[in-house]
Structure 1
Amino acid sequence: MSERPHGYARYKLDGCRCYTCGYAVSRYDENRTKAIIAGTWQPWVDAEPVRVHVRSLQSCSMGLRTIAALAEVDRKRLQSILNGRPERGTGPQEKVRPALAAAVLAVEPTLENLAPRTLISPLGTRRRVHALVAVGWPQHHLAEHLAVSPGNFSQTLGRPNVLVSRALEVRAMYEDLWRADPTERGATPAGIERAKRYAAERSWAPPGAWDDDTIDDPTAHPDWTGHCGTTRGVDAHAEHGIPLCPPCRTAAEKRQLRRTAHALSAARA
């Protein structure tokens, strides 16, 4: 007995003629006829975007079995799209069903979808640790939270890559600690002050300067003031004694150029 749920596929592939399967086929045929009349019938789409996307996912260390499972499609279907069926003398598929294309294209190489030992950029991991130190978390406390020695913790931050498993652990730690009071977790006032001073000397941005959708973005900069990149942000930096961030440094230079141009214009008048 087939384990497929009752519906169109079971009617066509397993010969089931129960009411549910028959009704599913009837609805399919009705919708198909309407779509053909309306000129919107599209039973097949180009397989190339699917093929490119799968290759891109594989370049991120995602295996074909994982991709198939996430898309809820048969792995052999993906193999046919990529390489065809050599045993049958066929090349890569040129067309696929729209539903399969949509399912595969929806799969993204998120941390949760990558293998735990995949190496990735450490940028987001570093930013999260730096942000916690900036609000007073001593680094040895963060190392204890991750159950690693302070030495290994420092080495992890200094490496050119970080394991996905470690990145997920740091992300979970960040979510747990960024709004917490370090004193309630055993940090001393002196340790907190040292951590803040250490971060300030290195211009490490606190959690409030990052959004969840930018902290992993290599092109993003922390928004220290809520107006960074504008002259208002430049003034806020000065008011609070915060070193200028790159966007505000650019805004300050542009303002100075405008002032210089205005002064020259006034001198000629």
Structure 2
Amino acid sequence: MAGEREHGYARYRLDGCRCYVCGFARSRYDENRTKAMTAGTWQPWVDAEPVRVHIRHLQACEMGLRTIAAVAGVDRKRLQAVLHGRPERGTAPQEKMRPELAAAVLAVEPSMENLAPSTLVSPVGTRRRVQALVAVGWPQHHLAGHLGMTPSNFGTMLRRPHVLVRRALAVRAMYDALWNADPREQGATEAGITRAKRYAAECGWAPVGAWDDDVIDDPEAFPDWTGRCGTADGYRDHYSSGTPYCEPCRAAFRVYRRGLRHARNTIGAEKAA
């Protein structure tokens, strides 16, 4: 509303305010506009289609229009005009828009923090974080208690094909708090720690050190158990340490063996000749 709008160029243009602040903002705008026009960089409007596509992408990621507008810091009606136009005015979806508005909307990403708490998301990162904590000795009932859950509900959460955003964020916060903490300092017994590590090893769960924060949520990523995973050396490190073989190391070792066979065949052919 006019009375709530901050003093500046928008209030000068839209509300007719002629105070010093609004007048100064108008003069600065005119000055910058003249300079940009002289330099040939004046661009008062940009194509709205990329923004429309981005909004639909965000909506497909379960972000509502109200949330998108709040994160971008713009009025929801302006996004509605971009998507659908103004039916009450008989206008079609906008073809052009201000570059500042476009930049604000295009900067919005469908990150976990921007989604509604009840949104269902992939459980991959949540499972990996829990598994990594168990692998370094955290008993699952301790983790359940940390989240305010019963062990039964905790286990059910990990088996479901989706997880609520609020649970995923809670597990992420728990992981950040516990990944380098000692379970003993929070009441875990030696027997419980040993059982947790043994169970994780039997399940092939990767420990905390095997995951980088930038890939732990990526369904296509693999844990780096050895620090050299994806190489033949990594495969040998798996063997010497007794850790489960990861697929990148298996693939690298297959390539290595094919290279050895090719070298032997080449040497054999040269000797026969």
TM superposition score category, shorter chain reference: over 0.9
Query: Which digits, 9 at most, give the CA deviation of each residue in 1:177-228, with x for residues without a partner?
Result: 1111011111111111111111111211111111111110111111112221
- 1:128 matched to 2:129: yes
What amino acid does structure 2 have at the position aligned with 1:82?
Answer: L
Measured in 2, the distance between the counterparts of 1:182 and 1:162 equals: 25
What amino acid does structure 2 have at the position aligned with 1:208?
Answer: G
- 1:66 matched to 2:67: yes
How much does 1:3 deviate?
2.2
How much does 1:245 deviate?
0.7
Query: Which digits, 9 at most, give the CA deviation of each residue in 1:104-149, with x for residues without a partner?
Result: 1111111111111111111000000000000001111111111211
How much does 1:236 deviate?
2.2
Which shows bigger deviation, 239-248 or 68-77?
A: 239-248
Residue of structure 2 equivalent to 1:108:
109
What amino acid does structure 1 have at the position aligned with 2:118?
Answer: R
Residue of structure 1 equivalent to 2:8:
7
Measured in 1, the distance between the counterparts of 2:211 and 2:130 equals: 12
Residue of structure 1 equivalent to 2:226:
225
Measured in 2, the distance between the counterparts of 1:89 and 1:12 equals: 24
Residue of structure 1 equivalent to 2:157:
156
Which shows bigger deviation, 151-160 or 232-241?
A: 232-241
Q: What does 1:238-249 correspond to in 2, within 5 Å?
A: 238-249=239-250
SS of residue matched to 2:169: helix
Residue of structure 2 equivalent to 1:43:
44
Residue of structure 2 equivalent to 1:180:
181
Measured in 2, the distance between the counterparts of 1:150 and 1:231 equals: 40
Measured in 1, the distance between the counterparts of 2:87 and 2:18 equals: 35
SS of residue matched to 1:17: coil
SS of residue matched to 1:36: helix
Aligned-residue Cα RMSD (Å) equals: 1.2
Q: What does 1:90-101 correspond to in 2, within 5 Å?
A: 90-101=91-102
Query: Which digits, 9 at most, give the CA deviation of each residue in 1:9-61, with x for residues without a partner?
Result: 11111222222222211111111111112111111111111111111111222
Measured in 2, the distance between the counterparts of 1:23 and 1:32 equals: 14
Residue of structure 1 equivalent to 2:237:
236
Q: What does 1:197-236 correspond to in 2, within 5 Å?
A: 197-236=198-237
Q: What does 1:161-172 correspond to in 2, within 5 Å?
A: 161-172=162-173
What amino acid does structure 2 have at the position aligned with 1:232?
Answer: D
SS of residue matched to 1:137: coil
Residue of structure 1 equivalent to 2:82:
81
Which TM-score applies when normalising by structure 2? 0.95
Residue of structure 2 equivalent to 1:55:
56
User: How many pairs are equivalent?
Assistant: 269
Query: Which digits, 9 at most, give the CA deviation of each residue in 1:241-266, with x for residues without a partner?
Result: 22221111110100000011111111
How much does 1:2 deviate?
2.2
Residue of structure 1 equivalent to 2:197:
196
Q: Percent identity?
A: 69
Which TM-score applies when normalising by structure 1? 0.97
Measured in 2, the distance between the counterparts of 1:236 and 1:38 equals: 61
What amino acid does structure 1 have at the position aligned with 2:44?
Answer: P
Measured in 2, the distance between the counterparts of 1:226 and 1:197 equals: 22
Residue of structure 1 equivalent to 2:145:
144
How much does 1:176 deviate?
1.1
Measured in 2, the distance between the counterparts of 1:248 and 1:33 equals: 61
Unaligned runs of at least 5 residues, structure 1:
none
Runs (4 or more) in structure 1 with deviation over 2 Å come to: none
Measured in 1, the distance between the counterparts of 2:20 and 2:60 equals: 46
